[in-house]
């Protein structure tokens, strides 16, 4: 491992406000070979993974970023006590539709949800989770929407291909075998008592 190059990359990623892409790092470090930079990034990520410390170097939202380990988020929230953004059911549904069906128009989102989505889309735009990609080349030229880089960053996704598939989502609803409770069978020689057989005082 080129210790000088690794140290420089660490300092760049550490001071960046958002994930730093490999292209941007190569642009900043023009005196180093691209292949050496890519190797240093891979080795740094492996080093932090093996170290198993409080943070790691991960590829997210098209770039590299130091992030705290998921296992420690409960402890971190005790310290920073920030108010987490809460999403309504309609906002989550709309965001999921945009994420999986982008580029998509408001009319197409409303057709899938069956309700007006103007206010929800506006809210998602204000939170920078959704962005306007342009206008669709059809009569009326409606705006088309897609997810933003912030969406990938917040949800810890490297790119849109990292979104869970429908099969993976459906697997979450399957009850594991050890959680299933078998129906208890009555002994064959014992009949279920009917109301007339029950004793009354």
Helix/strand/coil for 62 = coil
Instruction: Quickly state the pLDDT bin for 31 (edges 50, 70, 90).
Output: very high
Asked whether the whole model's pTM tops 0.85, one would answer no
CATH fold for domain 3-78: Arc Repressor Mutant, subunit A (1.10.10)
pLDDT in tens, 85-142: 677 888 889 999 999 999 999 999 999 888 888 889 999 999 899 999 999 888 889 9
Write down the CATH number for the domain with range 89-154. Answer: 1.10.10.10
- Sign of CA pseudo-dihedral 144, 149, 150, 152: positive
List of residues 6+ apart from 131 with CB closer than 8 A: 125, 145, 146, 147, 148
Helix/strand/coil for 25 = helix
The residues of the chain that CATH labels 1.10.10.10 are: 3-78, 89-154
> Using an 8 Å Cβ cutoff, are 42 and 30 in contact?
no
Instruction: Quickly state the pLDDT bin for 150 (edges 50, 70, 90).
Output: confident
Task: Spell out where the chain has E strands.
Answer: 55-60, 63-68, 104-105, 130-135, 143-147
Average pLDDT score over the chain: 83
What pLDDT score does 174 carry? Answer: 65
């Amino acid at each position: 491992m080129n210790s000088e190059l690794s140290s420089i990359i660490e300092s760049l990623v550490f001071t960046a406000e958002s994930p730093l892409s490999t292209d941007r790092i190569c642009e900043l470090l023009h005196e180093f070979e691209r292949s050496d930079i890519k190797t240093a990034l891979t080795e740094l990520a492996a080093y932090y993974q093996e170290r198993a410390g409080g943070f790691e170097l991960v590829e997210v939202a098209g770039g590299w970023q130091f992030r705290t380990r998921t296992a420690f988020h409960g402890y971190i929230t005790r310290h920073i006590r920030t108010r987490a953004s809460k999403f309504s059911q309609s906002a989550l549904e709309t965001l999921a539709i945009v994420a999986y069906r982008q580029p998509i128009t408001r009319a197409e989102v409303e057709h899938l949800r069956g309700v007006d989505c103007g206010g929800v889309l506006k809210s998602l735009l204000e939170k920078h989770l959704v962005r306007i990609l342009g206008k669709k080349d059809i009569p009326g030229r409606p705006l088309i929407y897609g997810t933003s880089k912030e969406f990938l960053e917040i949800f810890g996704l490297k790119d849109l291909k990292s979104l869970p598939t429908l099969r993976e989502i459906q697997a979450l609803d399957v009850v594991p075998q050890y959680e299933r409770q078998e129906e208890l069978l009555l002994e064959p020689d014992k009949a279920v008592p009917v109301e007339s057989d029950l004793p009354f005082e």
